[in-house]
Amino acid sequence: MRIDTPSTILDRVDERLKELEAHVAQMDMIQQLMLRLLSIMHPLSNVLAQYGATATQEAALLQYLDELAGRLHSLERRQQPSLEEFQARLDEILPALRHDLEFLRLVIDTLRVERTAYRELHDYMIEQNWVGRIASRS
């Protein structure tokens, strides 16, 4: 029976780790491609349609998101988007979904796979812990 020395075992673990790293890198590349392809399929519009939004409501929400994305770089602190304002404006645009925290969360999540301008807005929301604050309310 062959007995492996500690260094042989370590070499094997190293080798396997390298294989796993290559595997993860490949999955990461495919995921980036899927995200890119998904972003051109208007995922936010699909979510809104699924939740019964009209074309007018969709246009109003997209316009508001554009405005928010533009305000991200504002030097004035009070101009920067807040969760309270975001929720209030969504309630105004889509009154039927008022207080629907799952919908609110889904809108934020979907921005992650939307066009680049919205992805930056999504990063800001995550950085400001909007999702965690929504979860704590439910």
Partner 1 sequence: MSNTAQPDLEARIAHLEMMQDLLLRLMSMTRPLANVLEQYGATRTQEQELLKFLDELCERARGPERGRPSRAHFEMHVGEIMPSLRGNKEFLQLLVDTLKVERPAYRELHDYMHKHWTTTSHT
Give residues in contact with partner 1 (CB under 8 A): 13, 16-17, 20, 23-24, 27, 29-31, 33-34, 36-38, 40-41
Q: Please say which residue, 117 or 134, places its beta carbon nearer to partner 1.
A: 117
Phi, psi of 73 (to 5 degrees): -95, 10
Query: Contacts from 93-96 at CB under 8 Å and sequence distance 24+?
Result: 93/57, 93/60, 93/61, 93/64, 94/51, 94/53, 94/57, 94/61, 96/52
**Least CB distance from residue 83 to partner 1, whole Å?**
30
**Least CB distance from residue 10 to partner 1, whole Å?**
10
**Least CB distance from residue 86 to partner 1, whole Å?**
28
Distance of alpha carbon 52 from alpha carbon 126, whole angstroms: 26
Q: Please say which residue, 24 or 59, places its beta carbon nearer to partner 1.
A: 24
Q: Please say which residue, 32 or 74, places its beta carbon nearer to partner 1.
A: 32
